[in-house]
């Protein structure tokens, strides 16, 4: 008989391997059955019974392995594999904050970064903060967008996550509060089916300091998620979302599996399922995919 829960352990490949001792500790904590290896030295899943009063909480389990930089995700077994993926871009699929990088090149980096951090931590309204950051670009050359693009870094497992889920018939979308200049290129690189972002206004190669379309913010991300699930013919419970900032919270809460990925403190305080150390491959392990099934 299949147990109703599974605990997935994933080690940060840059920091070390997943030890048998750590697996044994986890198995004891959740009273789990025989572990299943998903990727040798990197990831295992441990089938286990449903938590009962007095059982370790997900936060307690995470804390037990934090010093070893091992992520622990406790999830229901039923419906693990998702039919929709919606991902944030900056600091999620990318290691960059593209607007901050652009501002650095244009000489207004410190002010823009300060606004970005306040917004992502939920201290400022997203729409107001975005307009304030874009306003600082007024009169600057838009040609530097290409320079930012040349220096973006994709987070470990980004392409693998998207291409593997697509290979298993999931619909995928990149939805960002950043600029469409970047979302279009990132989506093409990773293989996303759809991409959405904010449109910055450029005239004669110069930033006007305004947006050319309404702000795509937190509620817009959730709206796109709902439309994708409807088009795919599934409920929101069959969707996976991932992001790091406060503007991702509505879609993280709405999805059947919302993962806070290397997220800001405000987001980690609200979202129980977290990836704090390992890469985006963890999202596949959480769904029960072994590394042998990955598409890269």
- Cα–Cα nearest to 88, from 197, 202, 238: 197
The CA-based angle 67-122-221, given to 5 degrees, is: 100
Query: Which of 90, 100, 101, 248 is labelled catalytic?
Result: 90
Query: Which of 12, 24, 71, 88 is labelled catalytic?
Result: 88
Distance CA 294, CA 296 (A): 6
Which segments of 191-291 does DSSP mark as H helices, in order?
Answer: 218-232, 249-254, 265-268, 281-286
What is the Cα Rg of the chain in Å?
20
Residue showing tokens 């005239």: 203
* 156 noted as active-site residue: no
- Cα–Cα nearest to 72, from 82, 81, 59: 59
Distance CA 86, CA 105 (A): 30
Contact 63, 33 (CB under 8 A): no
Contact 262, 271 (CB under 8 A): no
> How many angstroms from the chain centroid is the CA of residue 68?
22
Distance CA 262, CA 268 (A): 9
> How many angstroms from the chain centroid is the CA of residue 200?
23
Contact 200, 211 (CB under 8 A): yes
Please list the active-site residues. 88, 90
């Amino acid at each position: 008989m299949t147990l109703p829960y599974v605990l997935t352990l994933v080690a940060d490949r840059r920091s070390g391997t997943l030890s048998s001792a750590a697996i044994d500790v986890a198995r004891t904590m959740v009273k789990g059955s025989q572990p299943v290896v998903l990727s040798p030295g990197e990831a295992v899943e441990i089938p286990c019974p449903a938590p009962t009063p007095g059982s370790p909480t997900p936060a307690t389990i995470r804390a037990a392995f934090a010093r070893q930089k091992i992520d622990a995700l406790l999830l229901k077994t039923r419906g693990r594999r998702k039919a929709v993926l919606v991902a944030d871009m900056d600091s999620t699929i990318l290691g960059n904050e593209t607007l901050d990088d652009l501002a650095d090149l244009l000489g207004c980096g410190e002010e823009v970064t300060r606004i970005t951090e306040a917004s992502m931590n939920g201290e400022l309204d997203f729409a107001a903060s975005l307009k304030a950051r874009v306003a600082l670009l007024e009169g600057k050359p838009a040609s530097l967008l290409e320079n930012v693009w040349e220096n973006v870094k994709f987070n470990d497992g980004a392409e693998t996550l998207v291409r593997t889920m697509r290979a298993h018939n999931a619909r995928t979308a990149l939805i960002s509060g950043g600029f469409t200049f970047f979302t279009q290129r990132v989506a093409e690189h990773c293989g996303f089916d759809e991409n959405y972002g904010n449109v910055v206004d450029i005239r004669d190669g110069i930033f006007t300091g305004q947006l050319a379309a309404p702000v795509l913010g937190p509620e817009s991300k959730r709206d796109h998620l709902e439309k994708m699930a409807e088009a795919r013919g599934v409920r929101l419970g069959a969707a996976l979302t991932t992001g790091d900032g406060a503007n991702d919270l509505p879609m993280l809460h709405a999805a059947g599996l919302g993962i806070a990925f290397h997220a800001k403190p405000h987001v980690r305080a609200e979202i129980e399922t977290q990836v704090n150390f390992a890469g985006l491959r963890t999202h596949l392990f959480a769904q029960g995919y072994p590394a042998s099934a990955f598409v890269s």
